[in-house]
Structure 1
């Protein structure tokens, strides 16, 4: 009876979110990656978390293109969605980028945004 209840409680609990190196929680799959909202979450922190998820959780190479789906600026309490597909992507990254490029970053570039000053998460 106890084993049955334990099994049911494990099945009923939500899946664990991935915790990125910067402490942000990420859920999803390759088609929809969601960086969970938290107070003060910046665009670079969102990209960092999404890139970290793509590389460490999905096992994709650092060269994998990553697209932002949620247009900036996000509303308070709203997470940021990303995808590995350009379909439905916004034309803005929410970051200051120089040069002529599309609105994507490689997963490695996004993960490199985990660097803050001298410290790397």
Structure 2
């Protein structure tokens, strides 16, 4: 397959329509609110696990406008199947046991992190995302 065909296919995939309620986080990943307390981040082959936390935290911060100290948990159990995204929750009753991030230092040891930590400490630009 020629480079031109591969490039055209890549551009077409990037330009595929997103749901009207989709949000592009500052790292270029997509996040969608699926309930009053749950945020889904669809699979992105370029993303590390912390990139998913970033997208969900950025969504909670800028779209849901929750307080930055609000705790966020992973709602999807581990291990995650290939090609499957991750769902996050702001409701501790909906957290997936053993599926959060390890935390060091002070703070709860329940796999949660604050919205501000997710949006501020786990965000990196993912190429070929182009920020404005």
- Band of TM-score, shorter chain: 0.7 to 0.9
1:20 paired with 2:25, answer: yes
Aligned equivalents of 2:74, 2:117: Cα separation in 1:
14
1:43 paired with 2:52, answer: no
Aligned equivalents of 1:41, 1:30: Cα separation in 2:
25
> 2:119 — aligned with what?
111
1:61 paired with 2:62, answer: no
1:101 paired with 2:109, answer: yes
Q: State TM-score, norm by structure 2.
A: 0.69
Conserved in 2, the CA contact under 8 Å of 1:73 and 1:94? no
> 1:84 — aligned with what?
90
Conserved in 2, the CA contact under 8 Å of 1:33 and 1:81? yes
Aligned equivalents of 2:95, 2:27: Cα separation in 1:
24
Unaligned runs of 5+ in 2: 1-17, 126-130
Aligned equivalents of 2:19, 2:124: Cα separation in 1:
30
Q: How many residues align?
A: 105
Find the residue that maps to 1:81 and give its secondary structure: strand
Deviation at 1:94, TM superposition (A): 5.0
Unaligned runs of 5+ in 1: 1-12
Q: State TM-score, norm by structure 1.
A: 0.75
Aligned equivalents of 2:26, 2:96: Cα separation in 1:
25
Q: Alignment RMSD, CA only? A: 2.2
Aligned equivalents of 1:83, 1:44: Cα separation in 2:
15
Deviation at 1:115, TM superposition (A): 4.4
